[in-house]
Amino acid sequence: MSVTVRAMAPDDWPAIEQIYQEGIDTGNATFETRTPTWDAFDAGKLAAHRFVAVDDTAGAVLGWVAASATSARPAYAGVVEHSVYVTAAARGRGIGWELLSAFLDSVDASDIWTVQSSIFPENGASLALHDRAGFRRIGTRERIARSEAGPYAGVWRDTVLIERRSPTDPS
pLDDT in tens, 52-84: 999 999 999 999 999 999 999 999 999 999 999
Note the pLDDT of residue 170: 65
pLDDT, tens digit (0-9, with 9 covering 90-100), for 120-135: 999 999 999 999 999 9
User: How far lies 43's CA from each of 38, 47, 57, 79, 112, in Å?
Assistant: 8, 9, 31, 17, 19
Low-confidence ranges of the chain (pLDDT < 50): none
Domain assignments of the chain as residue spans, ordered by start: 3-165
Average pLDDT, the chain: 95
User: How far lies 76's CA from each of 14, 40, 118, in Å?
Assistant: 32, 22, 17
CATH entry 3.40.630.30 includes domain 3-165: yes
Note the pLDDT of residue 169: 65
Contacts of 111 (CB under 8 A, 6+ apart): 77, 78
> Are 9 and 54 a contacting pair, CB within 8 Å?
no
Contacts of 72 (CB under 8 A, 6+ apart): none
